[in-house]
Amino acid sequence: MKVPRTQRQKEVFDYLVRFLERRGYIPSYTQIAKHLGVKSRATVAKHIKALERLGLITIHGRDGSFALVINQEELPLSEMLCEIPLVGMIAAGQPIEVVPDSETIPVPRFMLARVRPEKVYAVRVRGDSMIDEHICDGDIALIEDRPEARDGEIVVALIDETHATLKRLYRHGAEVELRPSNSQLESIRVPAGSVRIQGIFRGLLRPTS
């Protein structure tokens, strides 16, 4: 299994993996620089390029965006991937239902952190309401099947048993605010009794094609 060759490369790579586990997407160069205690994005770019040469990450596009690729050739299959049900899109009029015959997709186990695979399902994201969280149209969101959430968590919320949406949740007395991460969109505020939480966002997969 390929590993970073220097301590600094290992520090960068470990930070990328931990960040992805917690938030479901890759940190920006600015965030990596802050973690390293450096001011130069060029320094960050140098380490990212070194990790790319080792085959640990893949860089996409001219803007320097990149995706994390874990080289797992020498790991047992049971430690590499797990199968997660893919239950469709988050769409109006379509409650999220996990059924036994759902299509499944392979997911790297490290992305689930401490959540058991049987407690996770996946949905395709439609729209750009969470774009500022780097959750884009066509992405696959990994959702922990849990009916409770803390304020500020990204949730799959079912409104009036008909409209499923992916938003940040905040409680305001008898109302619930479902807040998008897109400056062009406004929050949804509805009576708390009309909202049922269908899961908590735990990670993100971005199809390559």
Per-residue pLDDT of 78-117, as tens digits, reads 456 788 999 878 754 455 665 555 688 888 777 776 788 8
Mean pLDDT to the nearest integer, 45-73: 67
Residue 35, SS3 per DSSP: helix
* Distance from C-alpha of 175 to C-alpha of 151, rounded to nearest angstrom: 13
> By the 8 A CB rule, do 1 and 72 touch?
yes
**Active-site residue identified among 167, 181, 183, 209:** 167
128 and 98, same domain (yes or no): yes
Between CA 165 and CA 170 the distance in angstroms is 14
167 is catalytic: yes
CA distance 111 to 203: 6
CATH number at residue 32: 1.10.10.10
Q: Which secondary-structure segment (H or E) carries 29?
A: helix 29-36
Please report the pLDDT score of residue 74 as a whole number. 39
Q: How far apart are CA 175 and CA 173, in angstroms?
A: 5
Amino acid 64: pLDDT: 52
Angle formed by the axes of helices 41-53 and 29-36, nearest 10°: 100
- Indicate whether 135 and 192 sit together in one domain: yes
User: Shortest CA distance to 58 belongs to which of 67, 45, 46?
Assistant: 67
Residues 58, 140 within the same domain: no
Residue 159 covered by a domain: yes
- Picking from 124, 160, 185, 162, the residue whose alpha carbon sits closest to that of residue 176 is 160
Single out the residue of 22, 6, 105, 9 nearest to residue 57, CA to CA. Answer: 9
pLDDT for the residue numbered 1: 47
Work out the pLDDT band at 206, boundaries 50, 70, 90: confident
Label residue 189 by pLDDT band (50, 70, 90).
Answer: very high
The pLDDT of residue 67: 57
Whole-model pTM above 0.85?
no
- Does some domain include residue 2? no
- pLDDT-based confidence at 77, cuts 50/70/90? very low
**CB-side exposure of 183: number of CA atoms within 13 Å?**
1
The yes-or-no answer on residue 119 being catalytic is no
Largest separation between any pair of C-alpha atoms in the chain? 55
Q: Considering the candidates 10, 28, 34, 129, report the single residue annotated as catalytic.
A: 129
Domain of 130?
Answer: 77-205
93 shares its domain with 55: no
